Structure 1
Amino acid sequence: MKKFFVMGLGLSAVFAMTSCKSSESAYKKAYEKAKQQQVVATEQEPTQTQTTTQVEVTPVTPSTTTSTATNADVNTVRVQSENVTVVSGNGLKAYSVVCGSFSLKANAEGLQKTLSNAGYNAQIAYNEAKNMYRVVASTYDDKAAAVQSRNTLRGTYPDAWLLLSK
């Protein structure tokens, strides 16, 4: 009984293998059909005549005016107040421009070095409540000067923000 069962299973496996067609031909047919559709689509597109016109381009010159923070700008700028301690630097004044916040001190030190190489007196402050290292590019006593510095730094660091030290 087992012999017939094993022989029947073997014959059905052989029969199943020989009756399968290669799927390669199906892929080839699908590829050829897609190529034909692509050729038909390109033939049906209307031909457009290309005309070239010369346009006079005026070079862009950088603006020489400096932006100053007006009282309206100063009053509407959002300032985040945090209790921070200086980890690296000379000390913070009332308003500071923060260019980056990191949970790892090594990342903060890397940005501090980049800012220092760019000519800023960069400092690192630590917010213990949020466990974040704040990289301060510049620090000021008055808000207007801090806003103007932040606006300048946003050209390079678009997420720069103001910190009010507690």
Structure 2
Amino acid sequence: MAGWKDGGGSVQEKYRLVVVGGGGVGKSALTIQFIQSYFVTDYDPTIEDSYTKQCVIDERAARLDKIYKFQRQILRVKDRDEFPMILVGNKADLDPQRQVTQEEGQQLARQLKVTYMEASAKVRMNVDQAFHELVRVIRKFQEQECPPSPEPTRKEKDKSGCHCVIV
């Protein structure tokens, strides 16, 4: 997270969020729906993409074995035992074709010690809520890592940079 001033002169928080998951689970559709309020109907596999959106929060589904791998890789790269992330089961509107039940998703989230949400980029169900919840998880993590001090130095501010994840 980094602070920056908006046009009105107030400081806003900036977050770098990463969306990971298996192929075809709707990572881009979820992100584009959040950023542009648009559902992408044509599937075009994405290697990597970057999006930006400003919003105010609180005033201030892949197969399960893929998720374990993603979490392990993230924690290994970050050299940490925990890192802010949430688990989102996308395509909740396709209930008859479910590959993962809601109970399985909730159970996996408990094992991974993360928040679980179901969403649908197609019908815009819980799209904003998922990204907003991730920001809340990041904020909570940052407060636990280094509680706010009266006047942080520039060096301390730089250390709080965060790359956080929706899986």
Structure 2 length as normaliser, TM-score? 0.25
Structure 1 length as normaliser, TM-score? 0.25
Structure whose residues are more often strand by fraction: 1
Give the structure, 1 or 2, with the largest relative contact order (CA under 8 Å, sep 6 or more).
2
Larger Rg: 1
